[in-house]
A and B are shown apart, each in its own frame.
Chain A
């Protein structure tokens, strides 16, 4: 089955700096790659997603890039703010049909003042 690896597990940046989180997936049939943000005690919230026919997508301070050949995708957050502090999960789906999401292990992002 699909396997998703995520790095780093923790990331600490200064406010205003950029943050990058990287994921790799194993199943080349996966075609949908969402990123979720989960604040402490809250539900996961979708922040951005990308499909396999697109190499890059941007939404204000957040961007995602996808390299299908290498089976890598990355989340980029620019001009980080304290409210960006949370756990971020990457995921992959589409292999085998349906909406099964295989998640990475999460990255605890801390934005320091």
Chain B
């Protein structure tokens, strides 16, 4: 079985400060992990993915995440927040390869203040 736990339902940062969105996963086999972003009333956009290659993954808009098997974590970071980063972020797990159904975390709402 697979599951995802996003440790913070809300994160608030000031513009220009670092962002950390935390995610822990559980999987009985090699997982593929993703971070998606959803802006209000919009579809989901893929930020980055881990699929058993490099453990430090760089994505779009300056985001990156590090896969840590020993900690079963896949935290999302960004060095400097921008106002346009305010959105809902979902950590997602699926089986290795990414073809099958996705298991979503509960989501973290990121607020960015001027």
| A complexed with B | no
